[in-house]
């Protein structure tokens, strides 16, 4: 009963936020009187129209790039982060390297990636992977480092192997932190995606938006912007739900 009430309350708050957002947009559009910021209803219509055209294709390409990058980054960063976090000897050796390279804005390597890997998907995917890899790596390492010693000891006293320790202690124990870093990484990934798609490419939502800009097709341009925003939103919701499902022990 109380839970149903809570759920209704949450849904209401969500709807209210959407309404406020639309209202602000509407006011902004009225105030600016610029073709770059159409009224919400007009924008919705042109979005539906664009989706029947090329937009869907570009959106698909972008989605593929961002999902593959995040997947690669996770698969690489999580095992490595746990390895560093649980083994101080290895960590001490790798820490200076991380310390030196972490603050470098990896996005400046884009031109090099373009030259070496060409203008295809691989240069973009690798760039996004590299950047999100660092975020996930550092978070995972810290989480593994802070793992309570009791958990490790009680596991070892059961005669656990390294793999058992990994599977039953470090991975589930670090999962909340990993998913948080993924949510943060998602924002970065989308920003880098946009940047990477605005250069030397003919596909992707970034290209679509900038192409519309150069053709002064503001209606479609705005549809592209909305589409990219919605893509970000749905990916975020997806991660949020994954967290609720995989880390149910936190939400008791």
> Could you tell me which stretch among 5-13, 82-90, 94-102, 147-155 binds another protein (CB under 8 A)?
147-155
> Least Å distance between CB 251 and another protein?
10
**Any contact of residue 249 with another protein (CB under 8 A)?**
yes
Contact range with another protein by CB under 8 A, out of 162-170, 178-186, 205-213, 216-224: 162-170
The answer to whether 214 and 143 have CB atoms below 8 angstroms apart is: no
Contact between 120 and 161 under an 8 Å Cβ cutoff? The reply is no
Residue 176 burial (C-beta neighbours within 10 Å; 0-12, 13-18, 19+): middle
Cα–Cα distance measured from residue 231 to residue 21, given in angstroms and rounded to the nearest whole number: 17
Helix (H, G, I), strand (E, B) or coil at 37: coil
CA distances for 33 relative to 4, 40, 135, 181, 220, angstroms: 43, 13, 40, 39, 17
Q: Is 128 in the site for another protein (CB under 8 A)?
A: no
Interface stretch with another protein, choices 18-26, 32-40, 160-168, 211-219 (CB under 8 A): 160-168
**Count of residues touching another protein (by CB under 8 A):** 20
Cα diameter, the chain = 71
Q: How far apart are CA 117 and CA 128, in angstroms?
A: 14
For the CB of residue 89, give the shortest distance to another protein in the complex, in Å: 13
* Residue 156 touches another protein, criterion: CB under 8 A: yes
Q: Does 91 bind another protein (CB under 8 A)?
A: no
Q: How far apart are CA 244 and CA 218, in angstroms?
A: 39
Given the structure tokens 């309350």, which residue do they identify?
9
Applying CB under 8 A, among 55, 83, 175, 227 the residue interacting with another protein is 175
> Counting contacts by CB under 8 A, is residue 160 touching another protein?
yes
Indicate which single residue of 107, 168, 187, 195 sits in contact with another protein (rule: CB under 8 A).
168
Cβ closer to another protein: 9 or 164? 164
State the residues that interact with another protein by CB under 8 A.
148, 150-151, 153-160, 164, 168-169, 172-173, 175, 247, 249, 252
């Amino acid at each position: 009963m109380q839970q149903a009430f809570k759920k209704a309350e949450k849904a209401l708050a969500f709807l209210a936020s959407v309404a406020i957002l639309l209202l602000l947009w509407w006011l902004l559009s009225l105030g600016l009187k610029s073709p770059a910021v159409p009224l919400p209803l007009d924008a919705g219509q042109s979005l539906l129209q664009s989706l029947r055209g090329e937009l869907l294709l570009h959106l698909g390409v972008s989605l593929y790039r961002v999902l593959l990058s995040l997947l690669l980054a996770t698969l690489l960063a999580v095992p490595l982060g746990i390895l560093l976090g649980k083994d101080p000897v290895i960590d001490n050796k790798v820490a200076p390297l991380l310390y030196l390279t972490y603050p470098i804005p990896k996005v400046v390597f884009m031109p090099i990636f373009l030259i070496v890997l060409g203008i295809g998907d691989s240069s973009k995917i690798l760039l996004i992977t590299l950047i999100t890899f660092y975020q996930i790596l550092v978070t995972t390492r810290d989480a593994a480092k802070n793992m309570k010693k009791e958990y490790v000891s009680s596991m070892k006293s059961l005669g656990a192997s390294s793999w058992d320790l990994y599977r039953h202690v470090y991975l589930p124990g670090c999962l909340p932190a990993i998913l948080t870093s993924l949510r943060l990484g998602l924002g970065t990934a989308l920003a880098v995606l946009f940047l990477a798609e605005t250069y030397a490419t003919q596909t992707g939502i970034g290209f679509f938006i900038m192409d519309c800009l150069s053709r002064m097709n503001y209606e479609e341009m705005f549809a592209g912007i909305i589409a990219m925003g919605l893509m970000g939103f749905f990916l975020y919701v997806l991660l949020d739900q994954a967290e609720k499902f995989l880390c149910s022990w936190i939400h008791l």
